[in-house]
């Protein structure tokens, strides 16, 4: 049966707003702070999946078929992802870059933040865009602090959350450009299965911080 789209945006309903408030509280108890709109987006995704599976509207799925433990279940998933992130932070080996390469990374973060800001104007994917923009800001602040602590040195060490945020947002930007979710402003030709000039630049910048764009042709930094 064909999926029937609800007439109104399900995220704006009173029930979803109430559930979103509960989800934010549950996630906070697990050490994860959701950005503005993220809880609503998570719930909307769950409701949409139920609606597609049952062939009903999102409103019907919300009113009749949403599990009673949906908030707890979703919070558990988010909490598990948070633990994975903290482990990634602990395991991240610092990288040392010269000033020129640091400038490239900051420019890449700026471009990613611009793309995320543009994506905020679209109805879908706002939580993702909010999350990327927030992590970009944290990454830039962290890099700025690292530069300030160099005492005029020509090399800057980046590690911990700053390094993980940087890798995470550049990787996500590449993915969202590649699958067409984010509009790419570069003038090169965009064809399926090929990377454009902006993606190539972001992949190179990601490599500078020891990351690797999954699915891209360029190898990890330590193998170049």
pLDDT (tens digit per residue) in 145-204: 999 888 777 899 988 888 988 998 999 999 888 888 888 888 887 777 778 899 999 999
Domain count of the chain?
A: 2
Evaluate if pTM is beyond 0.75.
Answer: no
Residue 114 forms part of a structural domain: yes
Same domain, 104 and 180: yes
Give the structural domain span for 117: 94-223
- Cα–Cα distance, 171 to 106 (Å, whole number): 15
Q: What is the pLDDT of residue 123?
A: 64
Same domain, 40 and 143: no
Give the pair of three-digit tokens for residue 83: 């633990």
Residue 1 forms part of a structural domain: no
Residue 139 forms part of a structural domain: yes
Same domain, 160 and 114: yes
CA neighbor of 40 nearest in space, from 8, 16, 14, 71: 16
Angle between helices 70-91 and 38-54 (to 10 degrees): 120
Same domain, 212 and 110: yes
Same domain, 217 and 153: yes
Residue 101 forms part of a structural domain: yes
Asked if 148 contacts 80 with a C-beta cutoff of 8 angstroms, the reply is: no
Same domain, 201 and 215: yes
Largest CA distance in the chain: 65
107-155 pLDDT per residue, tens: 999 999 999 998 887 766 676 788 888 889 999 999 999 998 887 778 9
- Cα–Cα distance, 7 to 185 (Å, whole number): 32
Among the candidates 61, 88, 115, a domain finishes at: 88
| Three-class secondary structure of residue 224 per DSSP | coil
Residue 193 forms part of a structural domain: yes
79-110 pLDDT per residue, tens: 887 777 677 666 678 899 999 999 999 999 99
| Res. 3: pLDDT tops 60 | no
- Cα–Cα distance, 107 to 204 (Å, whole number): 12
Neighbours of 82 (CB within 10 A): 15
Same domain, 104 and 149: yes
What's the CA dihedral at 139, 142, 148, 150 to 10 degrees? -100
Same domain, 26 and 109: no
Same domain, 130 and 192: yes
Residue 5 forms part of a structural domain: no
Give the pair of three-digit tokens for residue 16: 């979803």
More confident residue, 36 or 133: 133
């Amino acid at each position: 049966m064909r999926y029937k789209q609800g007439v109104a945006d399900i995220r704006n309903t009173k029930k979803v707003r109430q559930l979103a408030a509960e989800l934010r509280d549950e996630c906070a108890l697990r050490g994860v702070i959701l950005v503005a709109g993220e809880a609503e987006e998570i719930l909307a995704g769950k409701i949409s999946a139920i609606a597609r599976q049952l062939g009903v509207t999102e409103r019907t799925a919300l009113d009749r078929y949403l599990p009673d433990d949906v908030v707890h279940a979703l919070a558990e998933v988010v909490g598990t992802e948070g633990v994975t992130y903290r482990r990634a932070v602990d395991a991240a080996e610092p990288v040392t870059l010269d000033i020129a390469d640091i400038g490239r990374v900051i420019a890449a973060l700026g471009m990613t933040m611009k793309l995320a800001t543009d994506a905020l104007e679209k109805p879908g994917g706002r939580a993702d865009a909010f999350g990327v923009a927030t992590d970009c800001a944290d990454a830039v602040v962290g890099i700025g602090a690292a530069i300030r602590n160099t005492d005029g040195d020509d090399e800057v060490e980046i590690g911990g959350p700053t390094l993980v945020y940087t890798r995470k947002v550049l990787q996500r930007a590449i993915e969202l450009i590649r699958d067409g979710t984010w509009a790419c402003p570069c003038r090169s030709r965009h064809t399926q299965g090929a990377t454009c000039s902006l993606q190539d630049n972001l992949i190179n910048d990601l490599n500078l911080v020891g990351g690797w764009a999954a699915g891209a042709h360029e190898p990890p930094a330590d193998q170049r």
